[in-house]
Amino acid sequence: MRVITGSARGRKLKAPEGSDVRPTSDLVKESIYSIIQFDVPGAAVLDLFAGSGQLGIEALSRGAAHCVFVDKAASSIALVRENVMACGFLKESRILTMDSLEYLKTAKKGFDIALLDPPYSHGLIEKAMECLPDKMNDGGIVVCEHEKELTLPESFGTLMLHKRYKYGKIAVTVYKKPISTEEE
């Protein structure tokens, strides 16, 4: 696993061990960042179910302003912290050991990009997506990595399906929050 491009380009990242953890492949990560590349600079990013932190670290490497990493496994969070420090992004990071769904219940609005890559076949994407509309800024993007057999709905509240992609056994579904035209 490595950082693909940006200020930490080529930096090797430590990956979790064990059969219950499935790091995002470089092909899928590169595809995700091709989709959102113009939205990353200056963005406030949320990396839920962070694992090794590689998706959020890639965003920071590409110019995101800040990233919140959330994972309930202490071993994963230790790995996130180690990878963030190795890439020099500690100042731009907030690293939390807690359940991702619990975090969403208390998080304030303010994210431009949310990256979701939870354990497959547990219904976690759907549960997280129910909470995310109120946490995303107008124009915000949510990227969901999941098993290809899962077809997510057209919308979750104000988050509207933008596009679906398939890469072998993995699918990526992207949602966008429309920019509000209401006058305050």
Question: If you average pLDDT over residues 7-36, what whole number do you get?
Answer: 82
Tell whether 45 is covered by a domain.
yes
Q: What is the pLDDT of residue 127?
A: 95
Residue (of 22, 26, 24) closest to 10 by Cα position: 26
pLDDT of amino acid 180: 77
- Which CA distances in Å does 103 have to 51, 76, 148? 15, 16, 26
Report the CATH number that the domain containing residue 46 is assigned in CATH.
3.40.50.150
For residue 175, CA distances in Å to 26, 117, 141, 160 come to 21, 14, 6, 5
* Spatial contact of 118 and 125, defined as CB atoms under 8 Å apart: yes
Half-sphere exposure in the Cβ direction for 74 (13 Å, CA): 0
Confirm whether 183 is domain-assigned: no
Cα dihedral 52, 162, 30, 108 sign: negative
For residue 69, the enclosing domain spans 26-176
Q: Would residue 14 count as lying in a domain? A: no
Task: Give a yes or no: residue 3 inside a domain.
Answer: no
- Residue 184: band (very low, low, confident or very high) from pLDDT cuts 50, 70, 90: very low
Q: H/E element holding 174?
A: strand 170-176
**How large is the average pLDDT for residues 82-97?**
97
Measured CA distances, 51 to 57, 138, 176 (Å): 11, 27, 24
Q: Could you tell me if residue 11 is inside a domain?
A: no
pTM: 0.93
pLDDT in tens, 43-69: 999 999 999 999 999 999 999 999 999
Chain-wide mean pLDDT for the chain?
Answer: 92
pLDDT of residue 20: 57
Q: What is the pLDDT averaged over residues 120-131? A: 93
Six token digits for residue 143: 């990227």
